[in-house]
Structure 1
Amino acid sequence: MSVLYCTIPHFAAALARRDHPEWKGGPLVLVGPEDRVFGVSAEAAACGVVAGMTSRMAQVRCSEAHLQDADLARSRAELEVLLQLLEGLSPQVEPHGWGAAYVDLGELVRGHADAV
């Protein structure tokens, strides 16, 4: 069985920065429901900020972080786009959190066994 693990690190923050280039360059923390961290940039993660912690704790861990409201609908829509692209490789796609999925490449690999 051949399985591909596809991940886009810091998926929600990458989307936010794509839509808001002015947010690039420093720690970014996206805050979701109940004032909890939904997504972080690599810079914020390096300070110890993780999804699920309160926004207050994120500020304590990374005082220079730029906090913004997470756009959950946008993240869901873009995750669906990613999954649809992966389904172009294989009908066997299993989402794994935000911006990641497992893809069974069995049929694709079997069809090209001579090329491997």
Structure 2
Amino acid sequence: MRNFRNWDVYKNAKKVVVFIYSTTEQLPDSEKYGLTNQLRRASISIVANIAEGAGRSTERDFKHFLTMSLGSSFEVEALLEVSADLNLIEKQNQESLLHELGVIQKQLNAFITKLK
């Protein structure tokens, strides 16, 4: 059994979820079912796929879920860029989140490579 709660990548991904939630609180109500919802769902998907993959019995399945988590991190990245282009989030928040996502992406890539 893998204890995902101790992994830095899981802890960092949880921090991003919290940051995404606080950042999207500032988005207009017209984005509640658009960017707000999509950013929140994609960020939660990063964390959820790490946890779900940890519960899988084979390394192949585990790697699959880590890959899905990585994909979700890139989805969040793209959504942040769109949000910034639309002037919906502050540049400083975008830059902080992109930095954190970069760290998570490197950690996930290293984990996936290790499983190959």
Higher Rg of the two aligned structures? 1
- TM-score of the aligned structures, taking structure 2 as reference length: 0.30
User: Could you say which structure has the higher strand fraction?
Assistant: 1
